[in-house]
Amino acid sequence: MANEISLDKEDHLFNKGEDYNNMIYILQEGTLEVFDERDGKKIVVGHIQAGEAVGEMSLLDGGPRSATVIAKTKCSLLEIQAKAYTDLVESWPKWYQVLVKTLLDRLRQANSRVNV
């Protein structure tokens, strides 16, 4: 349920607002940049390093991508289908599923208030 993909420098992994594509990514090599654009200005909100996941918010709540992610260097990633994760989540207690959804809702609301 995982495929290895690579990105060249400046390639886009996904763009803010895109529909969730049922994938989460684990960066194996390289650096990704996470950013938003406000009033035509690029606002860097973070960097993803090897060993970190990206796309987790959409994976967890099915919402649109909350930021744009591009490769700052040549990157190697594992692309993991959401089904592997959702099968696991369905085995969690219902209260834990509700807790995760609540946290994600609050994070998305906070992001929108601070224009991230």
Residue 4's pLDDT is what? 96
Tell me the per-residue pLDDT of 6-16, one tens digit each, with 9 for 90 and over. Answer: 999 999 999 99
Question: Residue 91, exposed/middle/buried by CB under 10 A (0-12, 13-18, 19+)?
Answer: exposed
Tell me the per-residue pLDDT of 60-116, one tens digit each, with 9 for 90 and over. Answer: 778 889 899 999 999 999 998 888 777 877 888 989 888 988 988 888 788 777 654
User: Mind listing the domains of the chain with CATH numbers?
Assistant: 2-113 (2.60.120.10)
**Dist CA 12 CA 70 (whole Å):** 4
Would you put residue 113 in left (φ > 0), alpha (ψ -120 to 50) or beta?
alpha
Tell me the per-residue pLDDT of 39-71, one tens digit each, with 9 for 90 and over. Answer: 889 989 899 999 999 988 887 778 889 899 999
Residues whose CB is less than 8 angstroms from the CB of residue 59 and which lie 6 or more positions away in sequence, other chains included: 20, 23, 24, 82, 85
